Chain A
Amino acid sequence: MLSALGLALAIGGGALAVALAGIGSAIGIGHAARSAAGVLSEEPEKFGSLLILIALPGTQGFYGFLVGFLVLMKVGLVSGQIPPITVYQGLQIFFASLPIALAGLLSGVHQGKVSAAGAGVVAKQPSAFMKAVILSALVETYAVLGLLGSILFLNGIKVG
């Protein structure tokens, strides 16, 4: 019984990582794509540059998914051999998933806003495109750190 609760907590953590980071990316891409569509209506030939700007806030979703997958591997759901997981271990995995879940959620939204502003840069100064990309990537740093935190925490937790 307690082992089942431990497993549930661990899965809860993985699920939060996938879901929250995914929400962050979805909102972020939404912001960026809306601005880009405005530019696109005037200058369809800028589709390529805009696509990159739109895609940038999409990475958080992947980081979240990645941590979710690592949690699945940790609790043995991928291989099918599920070791007994105590409630404490479940909680540990749950908390270890939070960095990417929360950092992914918020940084995704904000990176989307920076990318949206970047679409404006591309409209007026196509040559400054890479600079807009770098600005957007400055926000992503914290999603990367969230991912790193989650990976390191998960790596430290012993299960089974």
Chain B
Amino acid sequence: MAVVKLKKIGILGLKEKLEHILSLLQKEETFHIVDPQLSEDTDILNTFFTPASSPRRVEVEEALHTIDAALKNLDSLREERGLFEGLLPERILVEAEEIEGIFEKFDYKAVCKDIEKTRFALQKLEERISAIQQEIQSLLPFRELPFSFNEIKKTISLPLKFIRVKEKNREEWEALFQSVPETHLEKIGKSQEENFYIIFSLPSREEEVTEIIKEHGIEEFTPPDLDEPPGERIKALGKEKESLLKKKQEIREEVKAYLAKERNLKIAYDYYYLLFQKELAYEESRESKCTFILVGWVPENEYGQLTGWLGRNFPETACIELPMDEEEKVPIKLRNHSIFRPFETITRLYTLPRYGEVDPSPLLAPFFAFFFGLCLTDAGYGVILVLVSLFLMKKLTVGKDMLKVILIGGITTIFWGIITGGWFGIEPDNLPAFLQKLIIFNPLKDLMTLFVLSLALGMIHILFGIGIEFYEKMRKKMWLEALGAELSWLAIIPGLIMYYLFQKTSPLFSRIGIYMALGGLIISFLPCFQKGQNPFLKMLAVIGGFMWKGKDFLGNILSYSRLMALGLATSVIALVVNTLAGITSSIPLIGIGASIIVLIGGHIFNLTINTLGAFVHTSRLQFVEFFPYFFEGGGKEFHPLSREGKYTLIITRR
């Protein structure tokens, strides 16, 4: 249980077999390949072996790039996405044979090219449509003009000016131009805010007109180059637009056909993705003229199996166990009983343990589960959580571990809900009799019980953390440290609690408690007797550390009061929802309907926000309060050469 022991091994074999060996390793998914890091003392190896370069890498990368681009194009072609679509990660479930045989019936290159073409065509269409719309907009003011602009320009041989004038000072401008003799001002168009004019005058007056335009900052415009009257042009454009829109619809239909091929495209992507992983592994190996070396990690319990089939299939291959450096970063693989496995996700949220450290997943599991439940404390909500997580576990292909955590949390929520009488915020007095009998205390009336319970759970959590560290130090034979820093506290705190608890009832136990606490205090000075250190300085360090730890301990335990606060928040908000529903039900006519909406909406809302809160704060209690007592972390994940794709999940039939 916990962190899996690994072996570092080197595989030495014939170069021509490397590709095949890698394929088998990829299927077995037990070998984490690393760079061989041939150091100075392996000089000989360095002269013979050079980094291998994979023969197919360029080709594979090209294919990946093509399919990726096609998938992105397809995504941009998809018309509309639901708000929550793509929120939950989904994988395509396939059998290994389907990936391997994907190209027998599916020509990805042709499909990719078609998708690219379609996207290009659609883009062109859209550009043209928006250009038409713009042109129509610009012609709209002149739609009543009975002749074309080019006609005007051809017919009138006098100097012409086209101007646009804001509606609000129209009369003023008109008067200005009309005051110039031998000049004509003709209105040719009108939009909501502007008027468009054409001005022509005798050549001798042209300068005068130009002067007025300049002086008053009047805007001129270039008439569109049109041989037909604007009205007709608008009509023609409208027709073109209509036919383009129809075409667009047709292309949309085509896209639907491509979307049906998305699954195959994704499988094809993973085909190359898996190949790419293999090529990367290839490049981690070293090669000489005819041989190769591959170095990596394998779980101890799978080592025999690995060497077994290597020897059977490739008798000329040698498998050597390599020495492990003290400082070496061994990859981390966690293995736990199936009940605890979901809680590995919680550990991963923080960080993986280092090699040789304990795996905190099974240790935090019971605390996480019960704290989560205490933050909700409503059996009704617990039932909903259980049902929802079971449903999603059936529906989804990934993220099941997280759902299992919620499922277990849902069960503990039911437990806390039953003993505190929390059922959708219904007053305990109104519950059925058999449920009332199960109630141990009502947190809304008995706040102090809940408060003490929260802190007591916190104290157990922290003492457990100290206990783990004690065990770890004993295992590493750091006797004095373990006794002084950990066992002392394990005696002092329970001792003091015993002293206070039994002060009135049992003087004997009370006295035992006081002795325990004193004993703990004494052994906390044990580290002063470590060899090779100035005992006086050491004593100062011990006293300082002792006080610091005491302060930490107090603060940490108080932090568990959040369990109470969050639990209360859930129950009181549920109560508020019920009260509000009660108030709305008295509204005439719509009362019942409205109160049902308030009830359902309110409880769903309360459940969602408090489940999030419960998860986050329970995680925090593990990371900030529990872990510092024994856990550091910082390991890197064991990542074997595997068949884990980007879009697919292979159904194994082992």
- Check A144–B617 contact: CB distance below 8 A: yes
> Does more than half of chain A's interface fall in helix, strand or loop, or is it mixed?
helix
- A48 near B87: Cβ-Cβ < 8 Å: yes
Q: How far is the CB of A45 from chain B (nearest CB, A)?
A: 5
Q: A66-B572, A69-B576 are in contact. Are A144 and B565 (CB under 8 A)?
A: yes
**Which residues of A are at the interface with B, using a C-beta cutoff of 8 A?**
44-45, 47-48, 52, 55-56, 58-59, 62-63, 65-66, 69-70, 78, 130-131, 133-134, 137-138, 140-141, 144-145, 147-148, 151-152, 155
* B623 contacts across to A, CB distance below 8 A: 134
A78 to B559, CA, bound (A): 32
Any A CB within 8 A of the CB of B616: yes
CB-based contact A130/B349 at 8 Å = yes
Residue of A47, A131, A144 near B566 (CB, 8 A) is A144
Q: Is the CB of A59 within 8 A of B609?
A: yes
Q: Are A151 and B447 within 8 A (Cβ)?
A: yes
A137 touching B573, Cβ below 8 Å: no
A66 adjacent to B569 (CB under 8 Å): yes
**Given the complex of chains A and B, what is the CA–CA distance between A1 and B579 in angstroms?**
30
CA distance A155 to B451 in the complex (A): 12
Contact check, A47 vs B83: say whether CB atoms are below 8 A apart.
yes
Q: Give the total of B residues in contact with A, Cβ under 8 Å.
A: 30
> Quick one: which of A44, A52, A59, A145 contacts B561, CB cutoff 8 A?
A145
Q: Assess the B573–A141 pair: CB atoms within 8 A.
A: no
Q: In the assembly, what is the distance between CA of A130 and CA of B350, in Å?
A: 9
- Bound: A153/B166 CA distance, A: 69
- Asked if A151 and B565 make an inter-chain contact with CB atoms under 8 angstroms apart, the answer reads yes
**Chain B positions within 8 Å of A63 at CB level:** 569
B646 CB to closest chain A CB (Å) equals 14
Find chain A residues with CB under 8 A from B620 CB. Answer: 134, 137-138, 141
Q: Which listed residue, A47, A59, A148, touches B613 by the CB 8 Å rule?
A: A59
Q: How far is the CA of A37 from the CA of B426 in the complex (A)?
A: 39
Q: Which 10 A-B pairs have the closest CB atoms?
A: A48-B87, A148-B565, A137-B616, A130-B349, A144-B562, A144-B565, A155-B447, A147-B565, A66-B572, A69-B576
Beta-carbon contacts under 8 Å, B561-579 to A? 561-562, 564-566, 568-569, 572-573, 576, 579
State whether the Cβ of B285 lies closer than 8 Å to any Cβ in chain A: no
With CB as the reference atom, state the residue of chain A lying closest to B568: A151
For the complex, is B548 an interface residue (Cβ under 8 Å from A)? Answer: no
CB atoms of A141 and B559 under 8 A apart: yes
- Could you tell me which residues of chain B, from 544 to 590, have a CB within 8 Å of some CB in chain A? 559, 561-562, 564-566, 568-569, 572-573, 576, 579
Contact A137 B83 (CB under 8 A): no
Among the listed B565, B573, B576, B624, which residue makes an inter-chain contact with A138, where contact means beta carbons less than 8 Å apart? B624
